[in-house]
Amino acid sequence: MVTLPIAPGFRLDGRRALVTGAGRGIGVACAAALAGQGAHVGLAARNKDKLAEIDSAIKVSGGSAEAIPLDVTNRAAVEDALARRPAFDILVNNAGTNRPRPFVEVTEDDYDLTFGLNVKAAFHVAQCFAKRLLAESRAGSIVNMSSQMGHVGGAGRSVYCASKHALEGLTKVMAIELGAHGIRVNTICPTFIETPLTEPFFRDATFRESVLSKIKLGRLGTVEDVMGAVIYLASDASVLVTGTALRVDGGWTAE
C-alpha cells in the first residue's frame, strides 16, 4: 500500500505575527490574511486612530490582533515595543515609501526619506526581531516587502529601485546567516498595486497604459493578490524556502 505524503498546512494557529506599515494598503491586507489563518497579529504603524479601526475590524471578523502605535524609524521605540511583548514568530517588514522623481531632480531629502524607511528601518526592525528569536532559540519567518523594482529599473524611480535592490541583497544575507537557527527570510515583490496612494498616478492615462503594457496578465495588482503570498511565506507550506524573492508581478519581470 502506498503511503501518500501529507502537504504542509497554511494555518498559523498559535503563532504571533508583526506587520509594519499596517495602517493602510498592502499592510492591512497582510494583517487580515495572517489573522484569517489563525495568527495573533501585531499592527504596527504611526496612525493610532487607523490602527484602532483595523484592530476592531479584525476582531469583529473573528481574528486576534493588537494595535502597536510605532514609528519604525525610531530604533529605540522598536526595541521597546518588542521587549514589552511576547516574542513574535512572523515579521512582515512592510513599511515603506516612494517619491517618484527624475534622477537629476532627486533631492537629498528624497534620498534620506526613502532609504531611511525602506532600508534602514527595515534593517533595524528585522534585526530586533531576529535577536529576540535567537535569544529564545525560536524559529521564525521574516517577510520583507520588496517590489518588482528590486529586480528591474523604472524611470523616475532611481532611489526607490536602489532601496529595493538593497533590500533584496539584505534578505539574501539574512537568509544565509539565520538559516541555521530555523529563521527563514524572503521577499515579496509586487507589481503596481491599486491602493488609495497609487490611485492618483493612474489617473494619467499614458502612465496607466505604460504600466499595463508591461504586466503580462493585463491588469493592475490588488492588495488581495499579495495575501496568498504572505500566508505561504509565513506558514509551514514554505518551510524549505529562504533567501527567495516571490514576484507577484503579473509577469512584468519575465522579460
Residues designated as active site: 160, 164
Instruction: Give the Cα separation of 114 and 208 in Å (integer).
Output: 23
Q: In angstroms, what is the C-alpha Rg of the chain? A: 18
**Within 13 Å and on the Cβ side, how many CA atoms surround 86?**
9
- Set of cell numbers at residue 181: 537557527
Burial 129-166 (b: 16+ CB within 10 A, else e): bbebbeeeeeebbbbbbbbbbbbbebebbbbbbbbbbb
Q: How many CB atoms lie within 10 A of CB 184?
A: 24
Instruction: Give the Cα separation of 93 and 119 in Å (integer).
Output: 10
Strands of the sheet with 245-248, listed across from one edge: 64-69, 40-45, 16-20, 90-93, 140-145, 183-190, 245-248
Q: Are 174 and 185 in contact (CB under 8 A)?
A: yes
Instruction: Give the Cα separation of 89 and 139 in Å (integer).
Output: 7
Q: Are 81 and 68 in contact (CB under 8 A)?
A: yes
